Amino acid sequence: MPARRHFGSVRRLPSSRYQASYWHLAERHVAPETFTTKGEAYAWLSTVEADVLKGAWVAPSAGSQTFGDYADNWLNRRRDLRPRTRELYEYLLGSFLLPAFRNICLADLTLARIRLWHGGLVTEHPALAPKAYRLLKTILNAAVEDRRLIANPCQIKGAAAEHPDERPVATIAEVDALADAVPPRYRAMVLLAAWCSLRFGELAALTRQRVNPIQGWVEVQQTLTETDDGHLRLGPPKTKAGRRAVAIPPHVMPDLMRHLETHVGPTPDSLLFPAPEGTGYLRRSNFARRIWQPAIRKVGVSLHFHDYADVLVMPTSVVEALLCEVSELHRSA
């Protein structure tokens, strides 16, 4: 009876230990370690054969690339990232990931090593730890897809979850007070932010043609991003859901109509809220310093415009109740 044919081959070394090797994709691969017995060597080859058959094979040398080199290449390949997202990734890599893992081979990134790193990060930078961990997991997921790793070692339960502090909520009276506190050319902007849940970048990108005062809606198709180096970039929202038509509450329409008549150019592409000079895009940094900060100091509240624009993201029934309350207030005024 002929001997069973094994996948790969095993040879005994002068040290009396056994070395396993095999051919795959026209290349000879050697096991990264030697074995005490021939049976252990053949058992390792059997696991490799199983990976080859189910398409999960990873070359033994694949994990020898350092995390730093792989992460740099990964970020350079990500042409789909939005400017602010790229800036965040560059910051997280430079501040937290590369100092810890730059010269470590991908294959040496174990769960224990990542757990130790994460534990220190949670203690020193609790707010950024989930973001840094999610980025590390994303990069290593790509390494698995690129056949650099067999599996992702980021397996810490709950490490990616964020637990932000409760965000402030503006009252209806505060919304009205803030609209009164800003210069008239920004009153409609403040009201649209609160009642239509529009972000600053969406408002800064709005043009006359995106507003339908007859049917009472505003269409969001683009958003303006200001990067840390001061560049302004106009592009689509992050997600398909970000492109949307938003109903304008009836009590906001008079202010919006006055704004269109007084502060907006006549052409379809005229910006709804241009820079103070009347041309060009409104910068978030300038708006915050010159318009928003004086307004919140005058009203006596502590709100970021980003928080303020989210205050009325509520169930429809709640918003309808608030609208009724507003109508009653205006009738009684």
The residues spanned by each domain of the chain are 9-57, 64-145, 172-332
- Please write the tens of the pLDDT for every residue from 103-152: 999 988 999 999 999 999 999 999 899 999 999 999 999 998 888 888 89
- Which residue has tokens 């803030």? 178
Residue 331 pLDDT: 55
Q: Do 64-145 and 172-332 agree at the fold level?
A: no
- Please write the tens of the pLDDT for every residue from 50-63: 888 877 777 766 77
218 vs 5, higher pLDDT: 218
Strands lying side by side in the sheet with 211-212: 211-212, 217-220, 244-247
Distances (CA, A) of 133 to 2, 119, 251, 282, 295: 54, 11, 45, 34, 37
Residue 20 pLDDT: 92
Contact 197, 310 (CB under 8 A): yes
Residue 226 pLDDT: 82
Residue 233 pLDDT: 85
Local confidence band at 324 (pLDDT 50, 70, 90 cut-offs): low
pLDDT > 90: percent of the chain: 51
277 vs 290, higher pLDDT: 290
Residue 312 pLDDT: 45
Residue 136 pLDDT: 97
Stated pTM of the model:
0.57
Mean pLDDT computed over 277-295:
88
Local confidence band at 4 (pLDDT 50, 70, 90 cut-offs): low
Residue 103 pLDDT: 94
Helix (H) or strand (E) holding 134: helix 129-145
Contact 79, 53 (CB under 8 A): no
Contact 118, 129 (CB under 8 A): yes
Residue 153 pLDDT: 94
Helix (H) or strand (E) holding 328: helix 316-332
Q: How far apart are CA 126 and CA 120, in angstroms?
A: 9
Does the pLDDT of residue 325 top 60, yes or no?
no
Does the pLDDT of residue 246 top 60, yes or no?
yes
Top CATH class, 64-145: mainly alpha
Which two three-digit tokens encode residue 74? Answer: 């990964």
Q: Which among 180, 134, 124 is positioned nearest to 158, based on CA atoms?
A: 134
- Which residue has tokens 């174990």? 110
Q: Which residues of 99-116 are buried (b: 16+ CB within 10 A; e: fewer)?
A: ebbeeebbbebeeeebee
Residue 1 pLDDT: 44
User: Of the ranges 214-228, 232-246, 318-332, which one carries the lowest mean pLDDT score?
Assistant: 318-332
Answer whether CATH 3.30.200.20 is correct for domain 172-332: no
